[in-house]
Amino acid sequence: MGISTFTGLQTALRGLIAQQDALDTTGHNISNASTPGYSRQEAVMRASTALPVTTGTAAGGGRAELGTGVDVVGYSRARDQFLDLQYRAQAMRLGGLAARVQGLETVEGALAEPGESGLSAQLQTFWSDWEGLANDPENTAARQAVIEAGRSLATTLAELGSQMTEAAEVASAQFTSITGAGGEVETIGKEIAALNGAIRSAITSGSEPNDLLDRRDLLLDQLSGLGQVSVTELGDGTVEVGFGDAATPLVSGTTVTWPQTLSEPKGKLGALLELAQPGGTIESFQLELNGFAEELADAVNTIHASGGGPAFFTYTAGSGASTLEVAVSAGEVQTASDGTAGGNDLATAIGALRGGKVDRTYAAFVTRVGTVLDEARKGEANAQTLLDTVQERRESVSGVSLDEEMTNLIRYQRGYEASARTMTALDEALDTLINRTGRVGL
């Protein structure tokens, strides 16, 4: 077939348009270099369909194809799904450990150990006051000091128990807030469902909704910090999103099913649930604290009542920390087993409890709290390091390098200039052909 005289202009025009599209895409990348979740894009170019031409003479000619330039056939999004999976797994782990650390730090702060206001210091004061009473059994002030030291212990234990209960209630409230109607999970789910619909419509119309896909992936990253996330492609651009151990997917296409029952969601929600639920970490601390309070009361009471006097402390079994009370007045404090005014064997024996089983029980409790918190902190630091490593790998694939984009700007600018120069040269040739042919010799 014959080739139009203007085919070269069309080829140059295609080059101009392609280079312009590439420049626009590069500018879009540069503009979003700091946008969270943005994936670098690139204009995908392909040689346009060639034109068949006849070569040579009519008798011995052959067939060939004449190139017609370039077309932009799409805009690719730099993304690695395997790295996305790794990132979300680490985000889930980090979310859980961070929430656990936050809850445990509340308990640690309530203990205030080591410190002058901690229970350990008050316990030592209690023993010291009994030793002081043993040195002067008839001193009314010394008797009252024992009473006040006991009351201080009881008050501190009650406050500790109350603060642990409050920490569990805060964790429970956070869990309810995140998973309840209008909470973070449902809000993210609704936006993902809306994006599913928009992405499906765009793909159906032949568009490439790269920015919408980036937004959806960012939401999935955020959701993974709250709990375990599973993502299934549905083939039409939409995804099905499973969350935690819920029986029904959170999002399927444009449908959101929430709230649902979660028992082991993992991530932040899993940690909050574990902290707040019966038998969880905080309740185990409360049980140990109750056990210590009751052990303290029993140890003191056994000695104090051995001479026939009343118990020094009273408590309700199973909730010793919150119910512990001093049950005697200053005049009822027993110092001697035989009841003599100047006797001091009972006061001496109670003072000698210092450094014994009661102190060791409390020290073991504080150590366990510290150990559990230390393990959680180390786990959080490790998870953060792993997450940062995966994020760096994702950035190497999807992130925008300004140096690389500036190089691309120059490359596409030169391509645009070359296509423009080609068009100018063809225009000058056509000008000669159209306006000067037949004017030779004039």
Q: In the chain, where are the structural domains located?
A: 7-78+401-436, 89-176+278-389, 181-258
The C-alpha angle with vertex 146 and arms to 140 and 148, in degrees rounded to 5, equals 100
- pLDDT at residue 3 above 80? no
Of 1-15, 78-92, 388-402, give the lowest mean pLDDT range: 1-15
Amino acid occupying residue 373: L
Q: What is the DSSP letter of 62?
A: E
Residue 296 Cα distances to 7, 244, 358, 360, angstroms: 99, 43, 6, 11
Question: Over the Cα atoms of the chain, what is R_g?
Answer: 39
Whole-number mean pLDDT of the chain?
91
Task: Give the alpha-carbon dihedral of 380, 383, 384, 386, to 10 degrees.
Answer: 160
- pLDDT at residue 55 above 80? no
Instruction: Say what the pLDDT of residue 79 is.
Output: 92
Identify the H or E element spanning 252: strand 251-252
Instruction: Say what the pLDDT of residue 439 is.
Output: 58
Of 7-21, 47-61, 75-89, 307-321, give the lowest mean pLDDT range: 47-61
Instruction: Say what the pLDDT of residue 1 is.
Output: 53
Q: Tell me which residue of 170, 343, 163 sits closest to 271, measured CA to CA.
A: 170
In the structure encoding, which two tokens stand for residue 374, read together? 């230390």
3-state class (DSSP) for residue 52:
strand
- In this prediction, residues 116-121 reach a mean pLDDT of 85
Identify the H or E element spanning 99: helix 81-111
Measured in whole angstroms, the distance separating CA 143 from the mean position of its chain's CA atoms is 54
Give the confidence band of 335 by pLDDT, cuts at 50, 70, 90: confident
pLDDT per position as a tens digit, 244-287: 999 999 999 999 999 999 989 999 999 999 999 988 999 999 99
Give 381's contacts (C-beta < 8 A, 6+ positions apart).
none
Instruction: Say what the pLDDT of residue 382 is.
Output: 96
Instruction: Say what the pLDDT of residue 6 is.
Output: 79
3-state class (DSSP) for residue 32:
coil
Instruction: Say what the pLDDT of residue 421 is.
Output: 94
Count of other CB atoms within 10 angstroms of residue 392? 10
3-state class (DSSP) for residue 6:
coil
Task: Name the pairing type of β-strands 313-314 and 255-256.
Answer: unpaired
Task: Report the b/e string of 70-109 with b at 16+ CB within 10 A.
Answer: bbbebbebbbeeebbebbbbbbbbbbbbbbbbbbbebbbe
- In this prediction, residues 388-413 reach a mean pLDDT of 94
- In this prediction, residues 404-410 reach a mean pLDDT of 95
Give the confidence band of 230 by pLDDT, cuts at 50, 70, 90: very high
Task: Give the alpha-carbon dihedral of 422, 425, 431, 436, to 10 degrees.
Answer: -150
Give 96's contacts (C-beta < 8 A, 6+ positions apart).
266, 267, 268, 270, 271
- pLDDT at residue 63 above 80? no
Contact 227, 267 (CB under 8 A): yes
Instruction: Say what the pLDDT of residue 51 is.
Output: 86
Of 232-236, 380-384, 430-434, give the lowest mean pLDDT range: 430-434
Q: Tell me which residue of 110, 130, 128 sits closest to 118, measured CA to CA.
A: 110
Q: What is the DSSP letter of 332?
A: G
Measured in whole angstroms, the distance separating CA 437 from the mean position of its chain's CA atoms is 75
Contact 342, 138 (CB under 8 A): yes
- pLDDT at residue 78 above 60? yes
- pLDDT at residue 217 above 60? yes
- pLDDT at residue 188 above 80? yes
Contact 283, 103 (CB under 8 A): no
Instruction: Say what the pLDDT of residue 58 is.
Output: 55
Q: What is the pTM of this model?
A: 0.85
